[in-house]
């Protein structure tokens, strides 16, 4: 196994990190409690996670500053200083959105997330110190600190990529589901108790059925956020709340009412025929 994988495995299993991460996660959960705050930080208004998009600003600004430092002339010193400062300013909202996402992780992902955050904190401290030195005219020392900051940021970014692409944090957990195209019989209407989610299968895809009066709604049973079982969720005002992190989806179309989910839950068309419930992929 490559050294970097061994290091990441070690972070994933380092239970000592839980002593730091658990209290921080609790604070994040409390701070991000109100729906507008959680929706804003998660990126629900945007339709996908906000944090990865915001990271482009400090990363881009600091890399551009480094390019000017390496290739530029004394006349570009001011521009480089401005870029370093821009990156430091942009780090605040970036960290807040990441903190919110991280608070909905557990175990190995949460431990790696803590190390990711510490690496980024080191990068911000180094770049902030670099900015102050540059303001005092000590450009060369500022460049050295910026380069060290870039190193810390690169390590932290690697761990962020590991969380998303290897551990699946922040990805749509229904992305590879293929919904049935043809009307498919999934349950007997008589088996559906009113206002009680029930799990069924539409082809290879688990779906959750909810009967409300004469109507039946069907959504994918796998929560888009992290794969929670929506058939174990709770009904709230015509919506379904995920039992894992509290995302709320409208039964009528799967749209998100409350984060951390950022994209709609796949919904299905429903037809009732001869006492049976039939579903098929909703028209797009």
Q: How far is the CB of 100 from ligand FES (least distance, A)?
A: 13
Q: Which is nearer to ligand FES, 228 or 266 (CB)?
A: 228
Side-chain-side CA neighbours of 54 within 13 Å: the count stands at 22
**Per-state percent for the chain, helix, strand, coil, to nearest 5:** 50, 20, 30
The residue range among 82-90, 108-116, 151-159, 221-229 that interacts with ligand FES, by the rule CB under 6 A, is 221-229
242 part of the interface to ligand FES, by CB under 6 A: yes
The Cα–Cα gap between 250 and 44 comes to: 14
Q: Count residues contacting ligand FES (CB under 6 A)?
A: 12
102 part of the interface to ligand FES, by CB under 6 A: no
The residue range among 15-23, 39-47, 116-124, 226-234 that interacts with ligand FES, by the rule CB under 6 A, is 226-234
Q: How far is the CB of 198 from ligand FES (least distance, A)?
A: 18
Q: Which is nearer to ligand FES, 232 or 273 (CB)?
A: 232
- Interface with ligand FES (CB under 6 A), residue from 231, 244, 250, 267: 244
Dihedral over Cα of 185, 186, 189, 195: its sign: negative
19-58 in b/e burial notation, b at 16+ Cβ within 10 A? eebeebbeebeeebeeeeebbbbbbbeeeebbbbebbebb
- Interface with ligand FES (CB under 6 A), residue from 225, 250, 280, 281: 225
202-216 in b/e burial notation, b at 16+ Cβ within 10 A? bbebbbbbbbeeeeb
260 part of the interface to ligand FES, by CB under 6 A: yes
Give the Cα-Cα-Cα angle 74, 76, 79 (nearest 5 degrees): 140
Neighbours of 108 (CB within 10 A): 17
Cβ neighbors of 135 (< 8 A, separation 6 or more) are: 81
- Interface with ligand FES (CB under 6 A), residue from 245, 250, 280, 281: 245
247 part of the interface to ligand FES, by CB under 6 A: yes
Q: Which is nearer to ligand FES, 134 or 258 (CB)?
A: 258
Chain contacts with ligand FES (rule: CB under 6 A): 223, 225-228, 242, 244-247, 260-261
């Amino acid at each position: 196994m490559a050294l970097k994988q061994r290091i990441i495995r070690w972070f994933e299993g380092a239970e000592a990190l839980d002593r730091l991460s658990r209290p921080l996660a609790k604070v994040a959960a409390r701070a991000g409690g109100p729906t507008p705050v959680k929706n804003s930080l998660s990126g629900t208004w945007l339709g996908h996670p906000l944090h990865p998009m915001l990271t482009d600003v400090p990363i881009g600004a600091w890399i551009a500053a480094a390019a000017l430092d390496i290739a530029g002339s004394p006349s570009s010193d001011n521009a480089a200083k401005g870029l370093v400062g821009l990156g430091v300013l942009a780090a605040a909202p970036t960290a807040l959105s990441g903190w919110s996402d991280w608070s909905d992780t557990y175990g190995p992902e949460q431990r790696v997330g803590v190390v990711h955050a510490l690496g980024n904190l080191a990068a911000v401290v180094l770049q902030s110190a670099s900015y102050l030195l540059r303001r005092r005219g000590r450009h060369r020392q500022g460049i050295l600190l910026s380069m060290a900051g870039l190193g810390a940021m690169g390590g932290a970014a690697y761990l962020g990529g590991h969380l998303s692409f290897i551990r699946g944090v922040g990805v749509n957990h229904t992305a590879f589901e293929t919904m049935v195209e043809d009307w498919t019989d999934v349950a007997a209407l008589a088996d559906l108790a009113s206002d009680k989610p029930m799990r069924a299968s539409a082809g290879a895809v688990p779906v959750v059925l909810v009967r409300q009066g004469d109507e039946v709604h069907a959504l994918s049973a796998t929560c888009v956020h992290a794969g929670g079982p929506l058939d174990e969720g709770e009904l709230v005002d015509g919506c379904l709340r995920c039992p894992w992190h509290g995302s709320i989806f409208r039964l009528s179309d799967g749209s998100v009412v409350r984060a951390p989910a950022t994209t709609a839950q796949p919904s299905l068309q429903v037809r009732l025929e001869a006492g049976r419930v039939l579903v098929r992929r909703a028209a797009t």
